[in-house]
Amino acid sequence: MRKDLKELKQITAPILEDIKVFEQEFRDALKSEVRLVNTIGKYILRHKGKHIRPILTILASRVCGEKPSLNSYRAAVMIELLHVATLVHDDVVDDAEKRRGFPSINRAWKNKGAVLMGDFLMSTALINIVGIKDFEALMLISSTAEKMSAGEIFQIEKTITRTISETDYYNMIFQKTASLISASCELGAITVTGKEKDREAMRTYGAKLGMAFQIRDDLFDLFGKEEDIGKNVGADVKRNLMTLPVIHSYKTLSKPAAKEVKKLLNGSKKSRKNIGRLRDIVDAAGGQEYARNKMDEFGNQALDAIAEYPDSPYKQSMTELIAFNSQRIR
C-alpha cells in the first residue's frame, strides 16, 4: 500500500464502519440496467480516489452530532458522485490521458462515453440529494455546482488571456475546488444538527482546507513526481494554467527572467526540459516557498474553525487531515 494511503487509513480509522456504509451505498449508486454504465462504474471503483470529500461529510457529522444520520451517508454519496462527474468532464475538456495513474475515461471510452457517463453521475447525484428531502441541503449543493462551473469557465478565460492576479487566483480556486470541500463539511452539519453555528464552522473549515488542497496540487504539478500525482508533471503548464508559484514569481523576477518565463509559458512546445527550466526559475524566485507558506496559512485557518469543538477522535482526524495535506509536498 502506498505510504499516503496507509497514512490516510490510519487517520480515518475512527470512522472505519461509517466508510464501509458509504462505500456500499456508493457502489449501489453506480449500478444501472445499462451494461456500459456498469462497466465504466466498475472501472471507476477499481481506480477510485481517496474519497476525501465523503470522509469529511462523515467526520463533520460526527464532530457536530453523536453519529451520522441516514441523510449523512446519502449526502456523502452525492458529494462523491458530483466530484467524480466533474473529474470525468474535466478530463474531456483538458484532453487528459491519465487519471490517478490509469487511462482516463475519455481515453478508454472516447469523449462521447465520458461526457455521457459524467451526465449519468450528475443525474444520480441529483437523485441522492433530492432523497435527503432537505431544502437547505438542496440549495447548498445547487449553489456549489454553480460555483464550480463558474470557476472552471473563469479558468478557461484566464488560459486565453494568460494574466491573473493573486486575488483572482484565490477566487477561482475557491469556486472550482474549495467550494465542494466546504459543502462536503457543511452537509455533515446540516444532516445531524442543522444549527447555523455548526454549519458556519464546518463551512469555514472545508473552505480553508479546500484552498490548501488546491495549492498543494499546484505545487505537485510543478515540483512533484509523476508516480506521486498519477498524471504527467507540468500538466497545468501545458494547459496554460497560471498557478500560485508562477503568479508569485512574476513579482520578484528580473525583467530578463520574467521574459524567459513568459516565453516558456507561451511556447507551443512545453518539453520536459522547458518545464524543468520553468521549475528552476520559479523555485529560485521563491514561488515554491511562498505557495507552501500560503498552504500552511489556509491550513491553520481551517484548524481555527473547529478549535471550539471538544476533543474527540473525529476532531483529531479532521486536524490530522490538514497535516496530511501539507506534509505530502514536503
Tell me the pLDDT tens digit for each residue of 156-178.
888 777 778 999 999 999 999 99
Mean pLDDT across the stretch 93-113? 91
Mean pLDDT across the stretch 105-111? 95
**Beta partners for 102?**
99
Write b or e for each residue in 42-74: b if 16 or more Cβ atoms lie within 10 A of its Cβ, otherwise e: ebbeeeeeebbbbbbbbbbbbbbbeebbebbbb
Q: Give the CATH number of domain 3-324; options: 3.40.50.300, 1.10.10.10, 1.10.600.10, 1.10.20.10.
A: 1.10.600.10
Return the pLDDT at 264: 84
Task: Render pLDDT for 246-294 as a digit per residue (tens, 0 to 9).
Answer: 999 988 898 888 888 888 887 777 788 888 999 999 999 999 999 999 9
Return the pLDDT at 330: 47
**From residue 158, how far is each of 161, 287, 295 by CA, in Å?**
5, 19, 22
Q: Is pLDDT above 70 for 1?
A: no
Distance CA 211, CA 202 (A): 14
Length of the chain: 330
Mean pLDDT across the stretch 103-132? 94
Confidence label for 240 from pLDDT (cuts 50, 70 and 90): confident
Return the pLDDT at 228: 57
Full-model pTM = 0.93
Return the pLDDT at 101: 82
Q: What is the mean pLDDT of the chain?
A: 91
